Every structure is written in structure tokens, then in C-alpha cells.
């Protein structure tokens, strides 16, 4: 083994983690200060309202209660706001830090299940996964949930080795934190995976997993917030438990716009696991051989299988889901890829070089064909219809994928997996830069900041900011974040999804006649809506809107005396 390999194996582990952390920060943190996209804005605005109101238990959005998610993942951003002030960077930084924490905990879990090198490799693979980086371009709660589930599994496996009650209690306490991060999914995935594993491998241990002290630990962590919310808000259980969990699962949730077809969702989960998705079938087959030979413990292999399958089945069965829920599947699959890739690095007793090389020959061939087609048809109408932000950037990525894919295939085939991994890692980093550039180029179409800026420029006391319906939790939050003003929502004329259970949120929704009445009273109204449809709708109400500015297919209209006319 070369000197770098010996350092990897024998050097102080903290030094390796420092290097991983510095590299991750250099790749992930630049560009966090760009304008908020509508889709992420609620996770930036809720912490701001925590700081403004001083209420860190009841989340608020648009200055109305918004307890559809527990508060744990809002608190880091609120703390940063309190110290450094409100900014897009402070809003997004906790997501990236949670991803780094997840990588570290995955590494520690990989060490406990297998060995140090496998754990470190799994952490690196996580940070080089496409959807992990893309999710960290925004702000959101997913890695808060993932990190707490990883923490719970660390305590679970420590309990499996020690059989100490304190580890059972810590396992359940970590699940309590997972519940506070995102509600019931964290508890179901953590406890469900552990329970299913014991049901298969060690039924006698099930009763010890459910020790009263352990259950009490979960209640001690998660219970106080639930009790406070139930006491404060009579509708809490109906909103948080019934609507946000059971109705979300069945697709009948109020304001539900996340009804992905299951087939499309599974396809996205697979695609966003690039580049490691190409190795999952081969790694799974190789892991099976390693279990049969006794190189990998059967119970641990079953654990990884159940852990990957449970969230996949849970969300595939749910009617309401979005693509990034697949992030909860990836850690288990990454440990499968890591333990089998380490076997290849150590001589490949159970690995086939051809199996590891074959997917990358395919990637290189597809990328080369894509490059040729795009290069020769860049001006074609069908290419313009694809909405590629930058043809030169797309060509550069396809060229990089051709070279890196071919390089990875060559090095795997030659028995040089470290060089192959380096080629794949460089391809991931190139893809990350393409994604960052796409986000920056498309921020005007994806952000209501333009409308907030115009409102801040022209509004005066007594004016009101209104928006048409769309996905309420998205663009409304961006408007509030950048204006500091409560926003009124104009219901759609037909098939409105704005029928909130919380009275204070529902009170912010108005219909056409009420908008008409406000305008008749002399109140000047700024309204964000579709550039083509909104003038016709307002014209039907006898209102004469003027356009202040547009971005993408949305415009900010003013109803009443035009700003600047006196």
C-alpha cells in the first residue's frame, strides 16, 4: 500500500475529518448568499418570526401560526439571526452544517458496523452525492432528520454490543430529536428499522428495545413541545397529526401541491443518487457474497437492507411526496457501496473489476452521444424547449462526464479503484458547479424577491401586499422575508387549495369581492400574480391594474393611484 493509503489506514482519524471538513466547506459554502428561492423561503422566514416574536415554540409564517413542522430545524437559523442578523447566508448555513454532521455521523456508524476506512469512505460518498449538494443549495429540514436518525442508530448498535440500558435510552432520546426535526417520519424510520431487524434476527431483544425507560426518554424529549402546543392551540392535533401526517399520506392534505406519481418519484430518487446509483445493483450482489463468506455480519447486512427499504416503501406508498425525501434512503445505500468498494480497494476478493467498470463505460458513452447531439443541434427548437440555462455549460459538463466516465471505467478495469474514485469525485464536483450556476442563473424566475424589492421601493403606509394563490408556503414566505409585511392571499376562483385549519392563517385569504371592496375603499393594493392571467381576472372585477415590473411569468401589479403620480 502506498504512503497515502497508510496515512488513510493508520493516521490520526481527526486529521482526516479536518481535511474532509475543509474540502466540504470549500465546495458547499460559496454562493449561500444569493436571493431566496420561493421553494425554500418558508424555512428562512419561520426562524425570522421566531426572533421577532420571541416565541421559539410555535412556528409562525406570514405572522400566523404555522406548526406543520416541529421547531428543531428552525432553531439554528434563528440563533444565527440573533447573533449575526437576518440574511440568506444565515438561513442556508444550518442546512449545509446539518449535512456535514450527517456525513460525520454516517462515518462513525460505518466505523461501528465495519471499520474506520469504510466509515470515512461512506462520509465522503455522501458529500459527493448529487442531491445532497443540490439540497444544500437551499434551506430545509431534511438533514436535521437524517442526522438525528443516524445518531439514534449509533446508540442502537452500541446497545447491540453492550446491552446497556443507557444506550436504549439514548436511542429513544435521539428518536425524540428526530421527531422534533420533522415529526413522525423520523420516529417511524428509526424505530421501525430497529424493530424489524430484531424481529428477523433476535426476537428476544425486542422487549428490551421497548424498555419503559427508553420510551420515557423519547417522551421526555418530544413530549414537552407536543404538550405546550396542545395547550396553546386547540386545533394542534388536527393540524399536526391528522392533516400533516395522515392526510399528507393519503394525499388529502389542505394546500397539497406535492402529489408526485410514484413512478416519477422513484426515478428521481435514483437519478439524484448519481453517481453512486450506478453501483447499487453490483454492490448489493457483492455484499450478498461477502455475507455468505462470513466477511460481513449477516445482521448488519439485513439492517442496511431494512433501513434502505423502509423509507422507500413509506414514501412510495404516500400520495404526497417530493424528490428530496429520497435523501433518507441514501445513507444505508452508501454504506453498502462503501463496504463493497473497500473490499475492491483491498484486493477485491469478492469484487469483479468488470462489474465496477461497466456502468462507467455506459456513462461515458451516453455523455459522448449527448455532447454530439447538443453540439450539432444547439440552435434547434426542441433544444430551446428543454430550457437549458446555458448551452456552453451543458456542453462542458457532457465533455467532463465523457472524460471522467471513461477514466473511471478504465481505472476500475485496471484494478486501480482509488484513481477511479478520484475521477468520479471530480465529475461530481463539476456537476455541483453546474447546479450552482443553474440556481444563480434562474433565481429571478424562482424568487419573488423582485416583487418585494418593488414593493419596498414604492409602498407607503396603508398599502397592502396581495398575491394570487399558487403554492402558498412558497412565494408568500419570500415576500414576507424581504418586506417584513404580512401578505394577503387572493383565492383562486375555482379549485382553491387555500382552506386552512388554523383560523389565523385562513383569515389571511380573501376572495375577489373582498379585493374589490378594498380597492373601492381607496386602499392601494400591490398584487403579485401571473403576467397573463391576472389582468384578465382583475378586469373581471372592474379593477385597472398597472404593471410595476416582471420576472419570468410573474408581474407585480398596482391597483389604485400609480406610484410616483402623487
According to the model, what pLDDT value does residue 279 have? Answer: 96
- Count other Cβ atoms within 10 Å, centred on residue 203: 9
> Are 338 and 110 within 8 A, CB to CB?
yes
> Residue 209 corresponds to which cell in the numbers above?
428495545
Q: What are phi and psi of 375, to 5 degrees?
A: -65, -40
Euclidean distance between CA atoms 507 and 307, whole angstroms: 42
Closest CA to 76 of 136, 145, 144, 175: 144
Give the Cα separation of 228 and 67 in Å (integer). 12
- Residue 101's closest CA among 177, 167, 192? 177
Nearest residue to 528 via CA among 538, 514, 520: 538
Separation of alpha carbons 314 and 187, rounded Å: 13
| Rounded-to-integer distance, Cα 554 and Cα 492, Å | 16
Question: Cα dihedral sign for 90, 95, 100, 101?
Answer: positive
pLDDT computed for residue 562 by the predictor: 63
| pLDDT reported for residue 3 | 46
Name the 3-class secondary structure at 293.
Answer: coil
Strands (DSSP E) found in 114-230: none
- CB proximity list for 255: less than 8 A, separation 6 or greater: 471, 472, 473, 497, 498, 499, 500
What is the C-alpha to C-alpha distance for residues 208 and 194, in angstroms, rounded to an integer? 12
Q: Measuring CA to CA, which residue among 131, 22, 99, 3 is closest to residue 418?
A: 3
pLDDT for 1: 38
- Give me the half-sphere count of Cα atoms (radius 13 Å) on the Cβ side of residue 329: 25
Written as tens digits, the pLDDT of the chain (566 aa) is 344 455 455 557 889 999 999 999 999 999 899 999 998 999 999 999 999 999 999 999 999 998 888 999 999 999 999 999 999 999 999 999 999 999 999 999 999 999 999 999 999 999 999 999 999 999 999 999 999 999 999 999 999 999 999 999 999 999 999 999 999 999 999 999 999 999 999 999 999 999 999 999 999 999 999 999 999 999 999 889 888 888 888 877 665 556 678 899 999 999 999 999 999 999 999 999 999 999 999 999 999 999 999 999 999 998 888 889 999 999 999 999 999 999 999 987 788 899 999 999 999 999 999 999 998 888 888 878 777 777 888 888 899 999 999 999 999 999 999 999 999 999 999 999 999 988 887 777 789 999 999 999 999 988 999 998 876 666 899 999 999 999 999 988 777 777 788 888 889 999 999 999 999 998 999 999 999 999 999 999 999 999 999 998 999 999 976 665 54
DSSP one-letter code for 259: B
340-297-305 Cα angle (round to 5) = 65
547: which strand partners? 557
Compute how many other C-beta atoms are within 10 angstroms of the C-beta atom of residue 280.
17
Selection from 511, 414, 527 nearest residue 466 by Cα = 527
Integer Cα distance of 314 and 325 in angstroms? 10
Q: What angle do CA 307, 422, 8 make, to 5 degrees?
A: 75
Is there a cis peptide before residue 275, judged by omega within 30 degrees of 0? yes
HSE (side-chain half, CA atoms, 13 Å) at 2 = 5
Amino acid at each position: 500500500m502506498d504512503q497515502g493509503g497508510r496515512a488513510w489506514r493508520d493516521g490520526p482519524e481527526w486529521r482526516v475529518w479536518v481535511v474532509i471538513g475543509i474540502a466540504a466547506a470549500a465546495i458547499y459554502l460559496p454562493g449561500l448568499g444569493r436571493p431566496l428561492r420561493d421553494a425554500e423561503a418558508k424555512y428562512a422566514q419561520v426562524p425570522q418570526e421566531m426572533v421577532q416574536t420571541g416565541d421559539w415554540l410555535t412556528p409562525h409564517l406570514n405572522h400566523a401560526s404555522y406548526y406543520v413542522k416541529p421547531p428543531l430545524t428552525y432553531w439554528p437559523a434563528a440563533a444565527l439571526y440573533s447573533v449575526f442578523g437576518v440574511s440568506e447566508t444565515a438561513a442556508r448555513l444550518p442546512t449545509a452544517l446539518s449535512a456535514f454532521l450527517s456525513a460525520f455521523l454516517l462515518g462513525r456508524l460505518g466505523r461501528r458496523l465495519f471499520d474506520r476506512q469504510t466509515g470515512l469512505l461512506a462520509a465522503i460518498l455522501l458529500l459527493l452525492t448529487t442531491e445532497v449538494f443540490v439540497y444544500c443549495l437551499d434551506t430545509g429540514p431534511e438533514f436535521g432528520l437524517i442526522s438525528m436518525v443516524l445518531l439514534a442508530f449509533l446508540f442502537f448498535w452500541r446497545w447491540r454490543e453492550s446491552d446497556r440500558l443507557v444506550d436504549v435510552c439514548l436511542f429513544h432520546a435521539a428518536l425524540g430529536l428526530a421527531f422534533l426535526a420533522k415529526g413522525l417520519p423520523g420516529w417511524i424510520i428509526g424505530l421501525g428499522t430497529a424493530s424489524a431487524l430484531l424481529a428477523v434476527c433476535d426476537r428476544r431483544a425486542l422487549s428490551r428495545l421497548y424498555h419503559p425507560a427508553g420510551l420515557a426518554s423519547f417522551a421526555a424529549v418530544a413530549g414537552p413541545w407536543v404538550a405546550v402546543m396542545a395547550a396553546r392551540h386547540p386545533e394542534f392535533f388536527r393540524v399536526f397529526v391528522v392533516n400533516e401526517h395522515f392526510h399528507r399520506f393519503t394525499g388529502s392534505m389542505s394546500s397539497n401541491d406535492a402529489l408526485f406519481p410514484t413512478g416519477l418519484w422513484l426515478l428521481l430518487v435514483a437519478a439524484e443518487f448519481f453517481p453512486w446509483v450506478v453501483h447499487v445493483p453490483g454492490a448489493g450482489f457483492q455484499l450478498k457474497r461477502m455475507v455468505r463468506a462470513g466477511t460481513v455480519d449477516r445482521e448488519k447486512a439485513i439492517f442496511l437492507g431494512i433501513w434502505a427499504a423502509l423509507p422507500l416503501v413509506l414514501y412510495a406508498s404516500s400520495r404526497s411526496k417530493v424528490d428530496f425525501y429520497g435523501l433518507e434512503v441514501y445513507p444505508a445505500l452508501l454504506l453498502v457501496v462503501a463496504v463493497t468498494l473497500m473490499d475492491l480497494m483491498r484486493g477485491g476478493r469478492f469484487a469483479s473489476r468488470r462489474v465496477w467498470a461497466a456502468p462507467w463505460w455506459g456513462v461515458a458513452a451516453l455523455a459522448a452521444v449527448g455532447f454530439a447531439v447538443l453540439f450539432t443541434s444547439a440552435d434547434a427548437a426542441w433544444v430551446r424547449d428543454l430550457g437549458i440555462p446555458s448551452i456552453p455549460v451543458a456542453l462542458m459538463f457532457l465533455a467532463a462526464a465523457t472524460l471522467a466516465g471513461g477514466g473511471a471505467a478504465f481505472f476500475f478495469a485496471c484494478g486501480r479503484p482509488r484513481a477511479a474514485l478520484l475521477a468520479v469525485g471530480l465529475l461530481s464536483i463539476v456537476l455541483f458547479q453546474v447546479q450552482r450556476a443553474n440556481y444563480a442563473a434562474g433565481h429571478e424566475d424562482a424568487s419573488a424577491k423582485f416583487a418585494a424589492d418593488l414593493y419596498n421601493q414604492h409602498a407607503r403606509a396603508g398599502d397592502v401586499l396581495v398575491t394570487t394563490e399558487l403554492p402558498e408556503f412558497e412565494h408568500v414566505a419570500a415576500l414576507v422575508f424581504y418586506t417584513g409585511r404580512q401578505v394577503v392571499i387572493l383565492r383562486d376562483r375555482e379549485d382553491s387549495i387555500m382552506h386552512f385549519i388554523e383560523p389565523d392563517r385562513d383569515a389571511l385569504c380573501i376572495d375577489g369581492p373582498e379585493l374589490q371592496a378594498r380597492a373601492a375603499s381607496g386602499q392601494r393594493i400591490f398584487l403579485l400574480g401571473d403576467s397573463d392571467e391576472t389582468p384578465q381576472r382583475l378586469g373581471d372585477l372592474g379593477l385597472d391594474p398597472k404593471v410595476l415590473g416582471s420576472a419570468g411569468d410573474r408581474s407585480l401589479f398596482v391597483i389604485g393611484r400609480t406610484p410616483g403620480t402623487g
